[in-house]
């Protein structure tokens, strides 16, 4: 393995890890402006042109604020939890293909961090680890509101994890593989009978897509499922006692989770970097694939933001009822439907 | 030999983990600690199973471990439910204090 | 190269398992076990079982240990305090058992060690196997086992629910 090969592997893995947190800064600005637009007010427009410097200013503020660690907390767990949150959020993206496999200067470069045969399982493994970040924050803060927020959030995450995994199992069944590059590859081109419709998974598995997308809201603790953070009810839920950059870490982790959830939706149900009739060649093809992927992800991120400022918050029992009694049976029905489709396609 | 990993290394690691698990199960008072040590022992057994499976070039090791993990999940949930019910009655999970059946 | 990673991961697993057994605070012990299981998952990948490694993280580290954490928080189990009762017989016998067991294990390893039974169809596997092969086996040769385990899980589900329920007199 030459130095160039090693450098390529490192870049494949490290670049997304560095770019994702960087993307959060304009994302916060976008969220605040879109929120303002929906609420018929201007939003940040003083700091810099169109308020673009608002996010960097907030970052500087978070770095320079006093870091308060209350005495009664369990210090080790208190300090560990935010880093766990960021670690889980970033690691999930390691297996998502953000572009096609390109051939540049004689070297084959797959545009994915790690193209493992268990890609989808890795995503769910890391998502189940993110529960620890929240539950430990809630517990170690030694504070009623944090504990409530932490327990609610972890119960919510593990409940919706089931529906999300079963919906994704439908995609795995259709693709015949856990490898996310295989999932994208089977969505290339258009349908045979309906020539202009791309062969995206959302069309045969619309119910699965809805279940997955709604569960993604619950997994990322975004409205309408943000009772754990419940700004008006639980002070700030599980991150009440965190200040300055520790709170910043949770903030960062939440937005990275939103980006990764949108990326997963785009990959599983909307064809990832592929478009019908698009056969990428060389580095230009790679760049175009990356742009298509970024566009699809950006669209879903906008939907995340749009829903946040449109829908009211679910009450906790309504939330649990939705997850267990509505989404889980729907995802099982979707799985059954996909199995029928697979048998029908196989017998043709 | 599975590729470059010698089976003796795997067995040594598995044995060490199992011994640590036994030490935890025999020498701790806290019921939850004992249960955690038992889970550790099961994982040590999983490691040995996978080591042999890879050394013999068969998938059977993985299948067995698959079932062991599923059974461990079932057992953990029932065990912890028992602890919760026990705690409600005795207010303690020190195994030395749970001796209602003693003469 | 793989041997080094395996040795390192196994060492991490053993060290954190030791921390788990020796520690006093149950929550930190659970976290030590999470790290240990993560390291074990790395060793499973090196033993050509990536699917089992993913399952280990999803089920063991991500579900079973979270359950442990919840129960510890529910029962508010604090750090273990020494209760001043000396239990010489118990401690002596326990330690003796551990030492004898360790000795037996080392002896067994030394004599029969890594000897494998004669395998007529020994297949050299050096690529990471596809989970598909595992799935095929699961639904053909091991179908009965699969169905039995699913019934077991159902029984465990019902059992845990009934056991942990508060017995309110109506």
Q: What is the pLDDT of residues B10-66, one digit of tens each?
A: 888 999 999 999 999 988 888 889 999 999 999 999 999 998 888 887 888 899 999
C131: chain A residues, CB-CB within 8 Å = 117-118, 178
pLDDT at C31: 93
Whether residue C17 is predicted with pLDDT greater than 90 in this model: the reply is yes
Q: Which of C34, C75, C150 to mutate to test the interface with B (most CBs of B within 10 A)?
A: C75
Quick one: closest CA in B to C45, which residue?
Answer: B50
> Is any Cβ of chain C less than 8 angstroms from the Cβ of A114?
no
Non-local CB neighbours of C69 within 8 Å, separated by 6+ positions: A132, A135, C27, C30
Whether residue C34 is predicted with pLDDT greater than 60 in this model: the reply is yes
> Is any Cβ of chain A less than 8 angstroms from the Cβ of C61?
yes
Whether residue C119 is predicted with pLDDT greater than 70 in this model: the reply is no
Q: Which residues on adjacent β-strands are paired with residue A109?
A: A102
Are chains C and A touching, using the cut-off of 8 Å on CB pairs and a minimum of 3 such pairs?
yes
- Provide the CATH topology of domain B7-91: Helix Hairpins (1.10.287)
Q: What is the pLDDT of residues C96-109, one digit of tens each?
A: 888 988 888 888 88
Q: Are strands A102-104 and A107-109 parallel, antiparallel or unpaired?
A: antiparallel
**Are C105 and B15 a contacting pair at CB < 8 A?**
yes
pLDDT at A232: 52
Q: Please state, in angstroms and rounded to a whole number, the distance separating the CA atoms of residues C57 and A3.
A: 33
**Are C40 and B93 a contacting pair at CB < 8 A?**
no
Q: What is the pLDDT of residues B79-101, one digit of tens each?
A: 999 888 888 877 776 777 777 76
Whether residue C120 is predicted with pLDDT greater than 70 in this model: the reply is no
pLDDT at A5: 79
Q: Of A122-131, C55-64, C124-133, which gets the smallest average pLDDT?
A: C124-133
B72: chain C residues, CB-CB within 8 Å = 60, 64
Total residue length of chain C: 170
C6: chain B residues, CB-CB within 8 Å = 5, 9-10
The residue with tokens 């539950």 is: A135
pLDDT at B3: 57
Contact present, A289 and A100 (Cβ < 8 Å):
yes
Q: What is the pLDDT of residues A278-315, one digit of tens each?
A: 777 777 888 888 899 999 999 999 999 999 889 888 88
Low-confidence ranges of chain A (pLDDT < 50): none
Domain ranges of chain B: 7-91
pLDDT at B2: 46
**Of C31 and A251, which is predicted with more confidence?**
C31
Whether residue C125 is predicted with pLDDT greater than 60 in this model: the reply is no
Closest approach of A30 to chain C, Cα-based (Å): 34
CB nearest C27 (choices: A77, A158, A176): A77
CB nearest B76 (choices: C64, C113, C152): C64
Instruction: Assign 3-class secondary structure to chain A.
Output: CCHHHHHHHHHHHHHHHHHHHHHHHHHHHHHHHHHHHHCCCCCCCCCCHHHCCHHHHHHHHHHHCCCCCCCCCCHHHHHHHHHHHHHHHHHHHHHCCCCCCEEECCEEECCCCCCCCCHHHHHHHHHHHHHHHHHHHHHHCCCHHHHHHHHHHHHHHHHHHHHHHHHHHHHHHHHCCCCHHHHHHCCCCECCCCCCCECCCCCCCHHHHHHHHHHHHHHCCCCCCCCCCCCCCCCCHHHCCCCHHHHHHHHHHHHHHHHHHHHHHHHHHCCCCCCCCCCCCHHHHHHHHHHHHHHHHHHHHHHHHHHHCCCCCCCHHHHHHHHHHHHHHHHHHHHHHHHHHHHHHHHC
Are chains A and B touching, using the cut-off of 8 Å on CB pairs and a minimum of 3 such pairs?
no
Euclidean distance between the first and the last CA atom of chain B, given in angstroms as a whole number:
54
Q: Which of C46, C73, C161 to mutate to test the interface with A (most CBs of A within 10 A)?
A: C73
> Is any Cβ of chain C less than 8 angstroms from the Cβ of A176?
yes
Whether residue C123 is predicted with pLDDT greater than 60 in this model: the reply is no
pLDDT at A233: 61
Confidence band, pLDDT 50/70/90 cuts, at residue B103: low
B46: chain C residues, CB-CB within 8 Å = 40, 44, 52, 56
Confidence band, pLDDT 50/70/90 cuts, at residue C131: confident
CATH fit for domain C1-79, picks 1.25.10.10, 2.40.33.10, 3.40.50.620, 1.20.120.1200: 1.20.120.1200
> Is any Cβ of chain A less than 8 angstroms from the Cβ of C131?
yes
**Are C64 and B17 a contacting pair at CB < 8 A?**
no
Whether residue C122 is predicted with pLDDT greater than 50 in this model: the reply is no
**Are C149 and B57 a contacting pair at CB < 8 A?**
no
pLDDT at C36: 95
C61: chain A residues, CB-CB within 8 Å = 125, 128-129
Closest approach of B75 to chain C, Cα-based (Å): 7
C31: chain A residues, CB-CB within 8 Å = 77, 80, 132, 136
DSSP B5: B
Contact present, C47 and B55 (Cβ < 8 Å):
no
Instruction: Tell me whether residue A323 is exposed, middle or buried, using C-beta atoms within 10 angstroms of its C-beta: 0 to 12, 13 to 18, 19 or more.
Output: buried
Domain ranges of chain C: 1-79, 129-170
Give partners of A (≥3 CB pairs < 8 A): C
Q: Please state, in angstroms and rounded to a whole number, the distance separating the CA atoms of residues A272 and A198.
A: 12
pLDDT at A209: 94
pTM to 2 decimal places: 0.89
DSSP B79: H
């Amino acid at each position: 393995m030459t130095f160039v090969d090693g450098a390529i592997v490192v870049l494949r893995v490290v670049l997304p890890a560095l770019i994702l947190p960087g993307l959060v800064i304009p994302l916060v600005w976008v969220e605040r402006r879109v929120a303002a637009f929906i609420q018929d007010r201007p939003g940040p427009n003083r700091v810099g042109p169109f308020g673009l410097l608002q996010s960097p200013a907030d970052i500087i503020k978070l770095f320079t604020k006093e870091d308060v660690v209350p005495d009664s907390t369990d210090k080790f767990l208190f300090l560990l939890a935010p880093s766990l949150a960021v670690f889980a959020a970033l690691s999930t993206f390691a297996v998502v293909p953000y572009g096609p496999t390109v051939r540049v200067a004689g070297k084959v470069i797959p545009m994915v961090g790690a193209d493992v045969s268990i890609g989808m399982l890795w995503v769910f493994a890391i998502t189940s680890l993110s529960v620890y970040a929240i539950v430990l924050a809630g517990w170690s803060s030694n504070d009623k509101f944090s504990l409530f927020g932490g327990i609610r959030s972890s119960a919510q995450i593990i409940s919706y994890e089931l529906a999300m995994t079963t919906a994704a199992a439908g995609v795995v069944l259709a693709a015949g593989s856990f490898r996310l590059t295989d999932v994208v590859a089977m969505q290339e081109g258009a349908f045979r009978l309906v020539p202009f419709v791309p062969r995206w998974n959302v069309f045969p598995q619309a119910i699965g897509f809805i279940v997955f997308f709604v569960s993604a809201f619950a997994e990322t603790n975004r409205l309408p499922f943000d009772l754990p953070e419940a700004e008006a009810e639980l002070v700030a839920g599980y991150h009440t006692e965190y200040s300055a950059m520790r709170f910043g870490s949770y903030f960062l982790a939440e937005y990275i989770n939103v980006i990764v959830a949108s990326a997963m939706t785009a990959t599983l149900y909307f064809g990832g970097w592929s478009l019908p009739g698009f056969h990428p060649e060389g580095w230009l093809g790679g760049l175009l694939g990356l742009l298509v992927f970024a566009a699809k992800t950006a669209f879903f991120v906008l939907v995340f933001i749009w829903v946040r400022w449109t829908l009211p918050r679910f009450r906790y029992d309504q939330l649990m009822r939705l997850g267990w009694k509505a989404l889980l049976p729907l995802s099982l029905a979707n799985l059954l439907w996909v199995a029928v489709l697979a048998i029908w396609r196989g017998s043709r | 030999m599975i590729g470059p990993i010698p089976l003796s290394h795997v067995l040594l690691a598995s044995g060490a983990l199992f011994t640590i698990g036994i030490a935890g199960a025999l020498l701790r008072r806290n019921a939850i600690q004992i249960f955690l040590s038992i889970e550790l022992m099961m994982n040590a057994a999983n490691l040995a199973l996978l080591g042999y499976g890879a050394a013999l070039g068969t998938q059977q090791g993985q299948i067995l471990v698959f079932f062991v993990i599923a059974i461990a999940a079932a057992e953990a949930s029932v065990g912890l439910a028992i602890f919760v019910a026990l705690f409600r009655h005795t207010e303690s999970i020190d195994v030395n204090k749970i001796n209602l059946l003693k003469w | 190269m793989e041997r080094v990673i395996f040795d390192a991961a196994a060492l991490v697993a053993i060290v954190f398992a030791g921390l788990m057994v020796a520690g006093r605070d149950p929550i930190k012990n659970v976290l030590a076990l999470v790290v240990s299981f993560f390291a074990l998952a790395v060793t499973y990948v090196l033993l050509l079982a990536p699917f089992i490694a993913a399952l280990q993280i999803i089920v063991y580290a991500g579900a079973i240990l979270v359950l442990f954490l919840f129960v510890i928080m529910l029962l508010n189990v604090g750090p273990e305090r020494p209760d001043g009762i000396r239990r010489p017989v118990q401690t002596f016998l326990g330690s003796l058992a551990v030492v004898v067991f360790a000795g037996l294990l080392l002896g067994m390893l030394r004599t029969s060690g890594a000897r494998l039974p004669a395998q007529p169809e020994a297949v050299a596997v050096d690529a990471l196997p596809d989970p598909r092969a595992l799935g095929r086996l699961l639904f053909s040769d091991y179908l009965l086992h699969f169905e039995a385990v699913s019934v077991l899980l159902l029984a465990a589900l019902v059992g845990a629910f009934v056991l942990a329920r508060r017995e309110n007199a109506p």
